[in-house]
Amino acid sequence: MIYTVENKKEISKKLKGKAILEGFAMAGIAAIPGSSRIKLRTKALERWLSNNHHAEMKWMEAERRKNISSLLKGAKSVLCVAFTYISSHNKNNNNNFFKVGKFSQGEDYHKVIYKKLKNIGKWINQEIPDCKWKICVDTSPLLEKAWAEESGLGWIGKNSNLISKNNGSWFTLGFMILTKDLIPDNPHQSLCGKCEICIEHCPTKAIVEPFVIQSDLCIAYHTIESREKTIPKKIEENLNGWVAGCDICQDVCPWNKSVPHNNTSETTPKEWIKNLNIDSLKWDDKTWEENLKRTTLKRIKPWMWKRNIEASLKNKK
The 10 Å Cβ neighbour count of residue 271 is 10
Q: Which of 138, 181, 185, 284 is catalytic?
A: 138
Catalytic residue flag (residue 216)? no
Ramachandran quadrant class, 290 (left: phi over 0; alpha: psi -120 to 50; beta: rest): alpha
How far apart (Å, rounded) are the C-alpha atoms in residues 102 and 133? Answer: 30
How far apart (Å, rounded) are the C-alpha atoms in residues 183 and 14? Answer: 11
Question: Amino acid identity of 156?
Answer: I
Q: Which residues fall within 8 angstroms of residue 4, CB to CB, at 6 or more apart?
A: none
CB of 116 closer than 8 Å to CB of 109: no
How far apart (Å, rounded) are the C-alpha atoms in residues 134 and 173? Answer: 15
CA-to-CA separations, 237 to 219, 234, 308, 317, in angstroms, rounded? 11, 5, 12, 10
In a 3-state reduction of DSSP, which class is residue 69?
A: helix
How far apart (Å, rounded) are the C-alpha atoms in residues 284 and 297? Answer: 16
How far apart (Å, rounded) are the C-alpha atoms in residues 60 and 241? Answer: 28
Q: Which helix (H) or strand (E) holds 27?
A: strand 26-31
State how beta strands 133-136 and 26-31 pair: unpaired
How far apart (Å, rounded) are the C-alpha atoms in residues 114 and 35? Answer: 27
CB of 109 closer than 8 Å to CB of 91: no
State the catalytic residues.
138
